[in-house]
Amino acid sequence: MSPIWIIAKREFTQNILSLRLFIGLVICLALFVASTYVLMEDYEKRLSVHNAAEIEHWNALEAVKVYSYLKVDVAKPPEPLSVICLGMERQLGNTIKVSYEDVPTEAKILGGGNPLLNVFSAVDAVRMVQIAFSLFVISIAYDVICGERESGTLALVASNPVSKYHILIGKYLGGMVSLLVPLAIGWIAAALLINVNPMIEFHIAEWSRFAGLFAALALYLSVFFLLSMLVSAITQRSARALVWLLFLWIVIVFIIPNGAVYVAKQVRPIPSKSVVNIERAALRTAFWEKIMDYGAKHRSSSYFSTGYSVVSGSLPFAFQVLTASREAMLWYLEGARFYIPHRIEYAEQIGNLHQEYYRSLKRQTVLAENLSRLSPAWVYYNISAGLSGTDLRRHERFLQQAQDYRKALVTYMQEQEAFSSISWFTSVDINDMPSQTGRVASDEDTFFANITPKSWDDVEPLDLNGMPVFTSGPAWGNVALGGALPDLVYLILLNILLFLSTGAMFLKSEMR
């Protein structure tokens, strides 16, 4: 039998029968099941809100009667794997109103609830592994070498014809397997809980990513196990090794990620949002000055009907006109042809303004992310959020999809001549409108008496069957290539480096 296998079996048996591991098994099962159950309920609520909003959005579209009111609410459904890693799912918005008059640059949070409860952040399974179980690994492995050196067991093992590398590999394999057993049981329990929930649909892609999450978990805990072995090989006393490892754990899990944010804020400060608001207000003022100047130069004495009343025209800008004379319709059409291109141009300028501001936020965030990569804890959470589709990259993809959809929607409206015909503000045929030539204001009631429809209730909704449909798309392709894979490779390389360093220190150390 191989010496490595003998040592690994001994380590596994010793750990699996210890009280520490039994407590770990109980804690794993309890925390994984409890966390998954709580987040499953949260997911069900978010999915119900999303489905209700989708129905409301479709009902609103079916009621649109003129193109000026064609505005589409698009929403990103909650990610199924958010029950394991919530990530930024609840912090970032998930619904956007798409129209010709605004470029989507931010999303709003869908649904209500108590906003004061947002101060209590949910603890998902990945967060527990990141913090609690990394500490649990240290409590198991801090004396894996120095403890046996103190008791004389290590010298006894070394008296046999076995190399130090065999001892090191055996201890690593036996220790890691004994740690992953309770974690695997807790992971399987969470999977069973997810599988029996009818509202959570896991397909092959989701189960593959679920397995990937466990692989990332194993790599992350392996870092702390190897770090414990390294410190244990360097130090002579178990108590001293534990103190050093607790210090390193605090640095890795808390100080580096929070310190990275502080450094990023100092190195790459961002302009105040008030500056953006001031620039936006200036653009808005310039836009409306242009519109009002045009309106002042293009007044008309035409008459038009809104609802059941008849008023005289003053500004040639309308979004909804029930009936009017042919002259009034043409007057409003000319106004729309002036207003719409300028409104779209203004939307692009405002969109560029917000996107430039977001790029400054992104540069600061990227710096904080790169500095945080010194912490395996942050790298692990970044991998997990990426695999779960709950990270920032998924949100940015949703925003980009909304922007692409807006372009498709504007193209569709252009193809329907929404911007160049009276269908922009009315549903009537201009050829059916009587001329106002030769009439006077006193004839208004007679003039509109035979014009149909009499009210907006009589107007048929627009036929939007050819309108493009928004799809948020799957998260897998984006996260696999966008961010999770490089961090996964980094975590693997870190394991290799720690193992080689531990081997080098163990070879130099004495057995007694």
Among 344, 337, 341, 325, smallest CA distance to 298 is for 337
Report the pLDDT value the prediction gives residue 303, as an integer from 0 to 100: 56
List the structure tokens of 375.
């912490």
- Type and span of the H or E element at 306: strand 303-306
- Which 8-state DSSP code applies to residue 104? -
- Type and span of the H or E element at 338: helix 326-372
How many angstroms separate the CA atoms of 241 and 233, rounded?
9
Instruction: Give the dihedral sign, CA 177/182/186/191.
Output: positive
Among 193, 192, 190, 183, smallest CA distance to 215 is for 183
75 strand-pairing partners: 95
- What confidence tens digit (pLDDT) does each residue in 282-310 have? 999 999 999 989 988 887 766 555 544 44
Report the pLDDT value the prediction gives residue 506, as an integer from 0 to 100: 83
- Type and span of the H or E element at 95: strand 95-98
Residue ranges in the chain modelled with pLDDT below 50: 116-117, 119, 307-312, 440-442, 477-481
Report the pLDDT value the prediction gives residue 404, as an integer from 0 to 100: 94
Report the pLDDT value the prediction gives residue 441, as an integer from 0 to 100: 47
- Type and span of the H or E element at 239: helix 238-250
How many angstroms separate the CA atoms of 451 and 44, rounded?
51
How many angstroms separate the CA atoms of 7 and 145, rounded?
13
What is the side-by-side strand order in the sheet with 323-324?
A: 309-312, 303-306, 323-324
Task: Answer whether 182's CB lies under 8 Å from 25's CB.
Answer: yes
- Residue 508: CB atoms within 10 Å: 10
| pTM exceeding 0.85 | yes
Report the pLDDT value the prediction gives residue 452, as an integer from 0 to 100: 58
- Type and span of the H or E element at 379: helix 376-388
Among 181, 245, 168, 129, smallest CA distance to 4 is for 168
DSSP of 11-58: HHHHHHTSHHHHHHHHHHHHHHHHHHHHHHHHHHHHHHHHHHHHHHHH
Residues 6+ apart with CB under 8 A from 286: none
Q: Classify residue 450 by burial, with Cβ atoms within 10 Å: 0-12, 13-18, 19+.
A: exposed
Report the pLDDT value the prediction gives residue 297, as an integer from 0 to 100: 86
How many angstroms separate the CA atoms of 307 and 127, rounded?
58
Give me the residue label for tokens 């394999």: 173
SS (H, E, C) 392-450: HHHHHHHHHHHHHHHHHHHHHHHHCCCCCCHHHCCCCCHHHCCCCCCCCHHHHHHHHHC
Distances, alpha carbon 452 to alpha carbons 69, 75, 437, in Å: 21, 38, 19
Report the pLDDT value the prediction gives residue 87, as an integer from 0 to 100: 87
Report the pLDDT value the prediction gives residue 479, as an integer from 0 to 100: 45
Report the pLDDT value the prediction gives residue 378, as an integer from 0 to 100: 94
Distances, alpha carbon 21 to alpha carbons 126, 145, 225, 242, in Å: 20, 18, 14, 17
List the structure tokens of 473.
């798309």
Report the pLDDT value the prediction gives residue 108, as an integer from 0 to 100: 87
Give me the residue label for tokens 């709580």: 38
Dihedral over alpha carbons 394, 400, 403, 405 (to 10 degrees): -70
